Structure 1
Amino acid sequence: MLFEKSALMAQPRQAELTATKGENPLIWPLLSLLQASNQSWKVHHLATALQDKGLMHDLDPAPEKDLFKRNFLLMNALYELQEILLPNQWLQVRAMEIQIFRIIPADINQQLVADNNLREYYLDWQNYDASVNVVRQMLESFWSSYQQYIGLNVKLMHKTSALRVFELDDTATDRDIRKQWRKLALKWHPDRPDGDAARFREICEAWQTLRESA
């Protein structure tokens, strides 16, 4: 086997912000940007593109802190997306060279190990320098913007219906739901080869219901 994903990616983070009942919503618009271009991106170019779409907000009144927090939010989403795409695709995460490759590099083990400290830093929300409630509110704000951007129905569906969309039953745990959300969102994302925009919106609406009812 090329690699054991569970051994290479960071161990479950105790500091991960589970209280948000969700995840960084910039993951999916970043996937759209990266899939739409074969060239590499720079972090600040990604930030500008997201801002133009109304998906990147001011995060701090102090300019230097705002810049740091924007960078943190982007890097967090990129490392989350890197994990989601493996083992089928490789997302290279470097400040000046961010790009998705369809072929996994032969030295992926070395690359993952070399980036491990940086990955763990950006996946630990404690390094964002904000309380759990502040981060939760920030992510809720970003999620609301993304809902408007992709045209989600703001009316929540029934939880049973949402679980049916996720192909789960009422015995599903929060972990099961989160895992299925990532699997289905990646499968039906409109920028994937077999993606479907309507199906992706339905998945997002179900996810919003399950986040609210968790």
Structure 2
Amino acid sequence: MENPFIEPIFELLLNTQQPLKIHDIGQALKPLQQAQLDDDPNSHLFKLNFLIMNALYQLQDELINEYYLQVSSLHIELLVKPERDIQLVNTSTTHNLKAYYLDWQNYLTSNEEIAQLLAQFWQQFQQQPTQPSNLSEQQALELFQLNEDATFAEIKQRWRELALIYHPDRGYQSPEKFKQYHAAWQALKNIHVCIS
């Protein structure tokens, strides 16, 4: 299968002087997206991210003699290789990700499998250590538009809804809004973990 994003992403990398994030590339490619990749919003987002990562890893291989293309969701950067070639660390996680995104069969992942991957992502995301939030419980609940008697299950559901709307990968223009909701989630999660 031919990936239509390879050339536009290469042009973007050549013309960008700073590292990019995956959502930056997604935003830059919006004018090229002529059709929805899938009717299901989660599947559409999965397929868009798959095409971007696939293009990046193909470019990484194609450009290996002249450039080093660093690929991670939060840091994508094209660097000219120095005269003396640098030794690159190839961790098994990086290798596994690359193998996953270069296998076109994974582009056809079912909606059920995408839902499982999304659930795993949320589980890992919630287990990550975070900065303490300065928000009080009342402020966080107000930000989430929930009553003071909201259960932890309701808070968790509201966080997921807001994160899916405001996450930068979803095309929302202001990462600050997502950071506010994330801080509120951290405050509420920490309070409820302490109570249980």
Q: 1:33 aligns with which of 3, 7, 12?
A: 12
- The reply on whether 1:78 has 2:65 as its aligned counterpart is no
Q: Quote the Cα distance in structure 1 between the aligned partners of 2:41 and 2:10.
A: 27
1:111 alignment partner AA: N
- Taking a change above 3 Å as real, the CA distance of residues 69 and 60 of structure 1, as seen in their structure-2 partners, is same
1:107 alignment partner AA: Q
Q: Quote the Cα distance in structure 2 between the aligned partners of 1:24 and 1:65.
A: 17
Q: Quote the Cα distance in structure 1 between the aligned partners of 2:93 and 2:103.
A: 18
Give aligned pairs, total: 108
For residues 1-214 of structure 1, what are the structure 2 equivalents within 5 Å?
20=1, 23-52=2-31, 54-55=32-33, 57-103=35-81, 106-108=86-88, 110-111=89-90, 114-129=93-108
Q: CA RMSD in A?
A: 2.1
Structure 2 gaps of 5+ residues are 111-196
1:83 alignment partner AA: D
Q: Post-superposition shift, 1:57? A: 3.7
Deviations, residues 24-50 of structure 1 (Å, cap 9, x unaligned): 121111011010012011111101111
- Taking a change above 3 Å as real, the CA distance of residues 31 and 67 of structure 1, as seen in their structure-2 partners, is same
Q: Quote the Cα distance in structure 1 between the aligned partners of 2:97 and 2:34.
A: 22
Q: Quote the Cα distance in structure 1 between the aligned partners of 2:19 and 2:35.
A: 23
Q: Quote the Cα distance in structure 2 between the aligned partners of 1:116 and 1:78.
A: 13
Q: Quote the Cα distance in structure 2 between the aligned partners of 1:47 and 1:31.
A: 13
* 8 Å contact kept, 1:40–1:99: yes
Q: Quote the Cα distance in structure 2 between the aligned partners of 1:62 and 1:55.
A: 16
Q: Post-superposition shift, 1:55? A: 4.0
- Taking a change above 3 Å as real, the CA distance of residues 56 and 44 of structure 1, as seen in their structure-2 partners, is farther
Q: Which has the larger radius of gyration?
A: 2
- Taking a change above 3 Å as real, the CA distance of residues 129 and 72 of structure 1, as seen in their structure-2 partners, is same
Structure 1 gaps of 5+ residues are 1-19, 132-214
* 8 Å contact kept, 1:50–1:56: no
